[in-house]
Structure 1
């Protein structure tokens, strides 16, 4: 046994006449153990290392120790879930930190909301930014119909929005909401910048809004005076005009009722008179209700006429 402490094996076998011909087996206690071929090279290297025939490079110990610590650090980072943070820090330092966010197509969506959902903190890396998660988060904003988020290397993120189209205002109870043409609610009404949109009131008014507004579009002289479309019992409409007149429409054949109303207005200037309501629900009868002031004036006029007829009768 050598002074270095390495155990030397007696190598034997039919193919071991020359030590340079390879290791075939181990002789332990007189019995030869034949090694599998893949292990022979390993045993040969160990024997050579112990006998001093293999020179160990300088600083191999230091490099091995550094490698060991590196492996341990990487394992701890992955096991502790700190991999994304470390990657973000490295890539940001390398020049991939997000420096510019380009947002387009946002007429009603705040850029501040978009930046918050992107989760940028000043050191966010373009490489580590999760595009799928950012797109999913932004798509949930009220006005967003669809969104495309792209990375532009090395330090830019581009957000392109396609927003929903406001069609009208729906009043349900005391709440006011902005709706699409389909009737889907976009968002609560917060200001008066949508005051020009038609107002639809009542249960199911939002889903029937497009149909009634389309029918009125064929009668622009009446449509221009409408203040609100009020849904009655989910079956028919009352139309409130800007001057306070209420037009009661039938459940069916609305176009014929509007044609009649337009004719009365053209011939008798009906909608400009002192009336409270026009009832068009019956196809063979149109009922007009006067305002209280008009009723009072009419009664006074009738009373004056009766008096005049009475005086005329006395003189004749």
Structure 2
């Protein structure tokens, strides 16, 4: 009997330790990652599944899209978001007209439909515009504050005559130099890229500026200063301003620019080489009993030389 009771006791005793599966589930639940997956991931996945099934129908998807667009349109069309006028400040009449023609804005329009960045890039494409400040001001006003480039030079090139600012940026075109006779003239390929250097030379040429007809860029390396009476000052590639100042100082001391000298060659800054004018050369040749030279620099036939000499003496 005692043995039987012992067997019954052993058979009815319950093991207090959890099962292996329960143990593993409890260990997983202690990890924050699994708690987030169960609390957030599973509901989000269920919602996504339901939404995906609902949106799989084209009609329901179109209805939802139209509804969202309608809400967005109703908000963007509210009166406080509407732009009704445009103002342009600081622009000349031609720039003002060009800006109003290029800005693709049909007013009134919602401020959400106006891309200020794109509009700013379009305005900056105008040669005469240096900077522009575009913004929508309270009261539904599209404001444009323009800073235009200041004309500083005329550049004669293969395409015509362009107006440049001090940095060499194109401002506009003119049909002739007389349109802006107040601006100094430069010419030659690549002269626009050296506009600051040209302005420095023009500033250094102050004492003889009334005689300066323009600057010519030679070989995209150096400048020639062209004066009236066909005179030309050939400047070096480096130290052009200093070389020009030397010529001006020499003119003050010896009045060399008033003489019959066609070219002042300073391409070698250490030596000044001059080429005399045609009259001066013919005078020397006449004194030496040589044949006179023509405008092309070639000796004239004997009869023509005699006529040229007699006309010079008569003059």
Runs of at least 5 residues in structure 1 that lack an aligned partner in the other structure: 1-70, 304-316
Give 1:1-316 correspondences, 5 Å limit. 75=66, 78=69, 96=82, 98=84, 100-107=85-92, 110-121=95-106, 123-125=108-110, 128-189=113-174, 193-283=179-269, 285-297=271-283, 299-300=285-286
Relative to the length of structure 1, the TM-score reads: 0.57
Contact 1:216 1:222 in 2 (8 A): no
2: distance between equivalents of 1:72 and 1:275?
Answer: 89
Q: What's the CA shift for 1:153?
A: 3.9
1: distance between equivalents of 2:96 and 2:209?
Answer: 37
Q: What's the CA shift for 1:247?
A: 0.8
SS at match of 2:208: helix
1: distance between equivalents of 2:157 and 2:219?
Answer: 13
Q: Decide whether aligned partners of structure 1 residues 284 and 208 sit closer, same or farther in structure 2, where only a CA change above 3 A counts.
A: same
Q: Decide whether aligned partners of structure 1 residues 301 and 124 sit closer, same or farther in structure 2, where only a CA change above 3 A counts.
A: farther
1:3 matched residue in structure 2: none
SS at match of 2:250: helix
CA displacement 1:149-192 (0-9 Å, x = unmatched)? 22234343221012233332333334333333333444444565
Q: What's the CA shift for 1:105?
A: 1.6
1: distance between equivalents of 2:170 and 2:152?
Answer: 10
Q: What's the CA shift for 1:201?
A: 2.1
SS at match of 2:131: strand
1: distance between equivalents of 2:119 and 2:243?
Answer: 52
Q: Decide whether aligned partners of structure 1 residues 191 and 113 sit closer, same or farther in structure 2, where only a CA change above 3 A counts.
A: farther
1:43 matched residue in structure 2: none
More helix, by proportion = 2
Q: Decide whether aligned partners of structure 1 residues 209 and 153 sit closer, same or farther in structure 2, where only a CA change above 3 A counts.
A: closer
Q: What's the CA shift for 1:194?
A: 3.7
Contact 1:87 1:128 in 2 (8 A): no
1: distance between equivalents of 2:119 and 2:242?
Answer: 52
Runs of at least 5 residues in structure 2 that lack an aligned partner in the other structure: 1-61, 290-315
| Superposition RMSD in Å | 3.8
Contact 2:153 2:165 in 1 (8 A): yes
SS at match of 1:217: helix
